[in-house]
Amino acid sequence: MPAATVIEVTDATFANEVLERSKTLPVVVDFWAPWCGPCRMLGPVIEKVAAENEGRVVLAKLNTDENPRTAMQYRIQGIPAVKAFKDGKVIADFTGAYPEPQVRAFFQKVIGAAGTGASTADDLLRKGDVAGAEREYRAILEKSPNDAGAIVGLATILLARGARAEAEKLLERAPTDRRAKALKHRIFLDEFRQKHAGEDLEGEARRNPRDPRARYRWGVMLAAQEKYEQALDELLESVRLDRSFADGAARKAMLAIFDILGLDSPVTREYQRRLSSILF
């Protein structure tokens, strides 16, 4: 799981990693213990749903056996117990091994209740009021400079305008947000497409099918054209030919496409499986 999506917390780190962090994003805390069977059932489910909502919520896991002080402070009497924090306060909770649909509904409730403040701006942008959306995003960032939703929204507007440098600088404020990472990947792909537009990368790959560099370059160009499955096929072949080529460039390019498509995409899951079968 991405480090930004799931974190381990203790009595010593709870105040900073949960209470303080929840002033920026809602933090869902899973109180669990190794001996707890229902905890082992809930764990993979809640981690999967947290990954789907990367950038909008953080999942923290606290072992109640090793950290009894925090468990007592929040009156944990049965586990698994799940509590969502925003601005240092509990805004929602449940106890027991909820099935996936209910866990997903809980996360949506938490995200909706917490809000990033960017929803109004998002609505304006969807309606085509770019100027209004930009004003809203900038107003949000004046109050909350690291609001991921506003960062991504404003960066999207800036990129459409051609203000790439400002967009890239803005995106640095949200280094772990999947949407921000996806935008940075798109910037790289657009630059690659422009730089190599006059080259016959496809022909090079066809003439040299066992050259990992040729397969990599053609794969990246396909990704720049948003032909993601074809791109992944080329990049996977580059990895198969030489996984160490250019410090793992083809593997990194595949991971970038996974960010763009999203962790829950069937294409992502299929090519993650294929990539793992080569690497491991």
Active site residues: 36, 39
Cβ burial of 112 (10 Å; 0-12, 13-18, 19+) is exposed
Separation of alpha carbons 53 and 31, rounded Å: 20
For residue 158, how far is the Cα from the chain centroid? 21
- Report DSSP letters for 147-213, one per residue: -HHHHHHHHHHHHHHT-HHHHHHHHTT-TT-HHHHHHHHHHHHHHHHHHTTTS-HHHHHHH-TT-HH
For residue 149, give the nearest of 126, 127, 178 by alpha carbon: 178
Dig out the tokens for 274 from the structure.
């294929």
Count of Cβ atoms closer than 10 Å to residue 181 Cβ: 22
Residue with tokens 């990539």: 275
Is-contact 114 86, C-beta < 8 A?
Answer: yes
Q: Does residue 254 contact residue 270 with C-beta atoms inside 8 Å?
A: no
3-state secondary structure at position 57 = strand
d(CA 62, CA 66): 8
* Angle at 13 (CA atoms; ends 7, 18), nearest 5 degrees: 60
